[in-house]
């Protein structure tokens, strides 16, 4: 049965004049900072980098994005279930077929390997674990959904992205974002592609970015719990 979205009473974030004179920054700046930090992490000690990234990303979201972040999902339960389903898809291949991730499609010079770059000492660092879980379950879903489905999916349809309604479907935009989202996840690109398709489809169905943020947050929160409970740190690259 198809869901009929009930849009929140608040103004659409795509047409919110409070986004400022440079609205693109609200959607792109936190994600750009996130990618820039990944590029320099090899030169910074792991614990220092974890704190630095958490503080800078939180600050970027507060400074640039606070007025465009939606907080009212239209379909709470369905978004939670979607997030849980994506989590199962994410861990499924490795749980069902040990050694699956060592296959050349997922272990090569382009995708890298499914191995954590984190210092093993951090496994016993409660402070690091707390900020990493908060970052994974809250900050990253917000910054990624703002960028991928709040901005890029609309910008590929029309550079004046605010004139494009959230969730408007266009084949090139839909599949380009799904593929780019997959490429962001390295050795987990194939489950990343499925996740990208699922989240893209959800924004098309709900037309509410808050639902995608919630679904994405549930996926990441469950994955964080899985990492910690079952010692599967390879999922935290």
Q: How far apart are CA 221 and CA 87, in angstroms?
A: 9
**Is 11 contained in some domain?**
no
Q: Which helix (H) or strand (E) holds 85?
A: helix 76-96
pLDDT at 117: 78
**Is 4 contained in some domain?**
no
**Is 159 contained in some domain?**
yes
Residues of the chain with pLDDT under 50: 1-2, 7-21
- The closest of 202, 215, 189 to 104, measured between CA atoms, is 189
Please give the tally of structural domains in the chain.
1
pLDDT at 122: 86
Residue 139, domain extent: 23-235
**Is 17 contained in some domain?**
no
**Is 15 contained in some domain?**
no
**Is 40 contained in some domain?**
yes
Percentage above 70 pLDDT, the chain: 91
**Is 103 contained in some domain?**
yes
Taking only the tens place, the pLDDT of each residue in 107-155 is: 999 999 998 878 788 888 999 999 999 999 999 999 999 999 999 999 9
**Is 16 contained in some domain?**
no
């Amino acid at each position: 049965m198809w869901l009929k979205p009930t849009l929140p009473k608040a103004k659409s974030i795509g047409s919110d004049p409070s986004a400022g004179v440079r609205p693109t920054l609200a959607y792109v700046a936190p994600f750009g900072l996130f990618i820039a930090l990944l590029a320099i992490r090899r030169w910074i000690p792991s614990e220092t980098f974890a704190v630095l990234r958490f503080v800078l990303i939180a600050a970027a979201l507060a400074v640039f994005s606070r007025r465009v972040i939606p907080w009212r999902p239209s379909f709470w339960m369905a978004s939670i279930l979607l997030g849980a389903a994506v989590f199962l898809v994410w861990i499924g291949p490795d749980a069902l077929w040990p050694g699956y991730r060592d296959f050349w499609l997922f272990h090569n010079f382009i995708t890298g390997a499914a191995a954590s770059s984190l210092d093993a000492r951090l496994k016993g660092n409660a402070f690091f674990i707390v900020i990493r879980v908060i970052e994974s379950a809250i900050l990253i879903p917000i910054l990624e959904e703002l960028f991928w489905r709040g901005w890029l999916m609309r910008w590929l349809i029309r550079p004046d992205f605010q004139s494009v309604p959230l969730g408007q479907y266009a084949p090139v935009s839909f599949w380009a974002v799904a593929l780019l989202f997959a490429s962001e996840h390295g050795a987990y690109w194939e489950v990343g592609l499925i996740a990208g398709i699922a989240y893209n489809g959800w924004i098309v169905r709900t037309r509410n970015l808050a639902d995608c943020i919630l679904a994405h947050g549930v996926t990441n929160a469950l994955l964080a719990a899985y990492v910690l409970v079952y010692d599967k740190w390879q999922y935290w690259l």
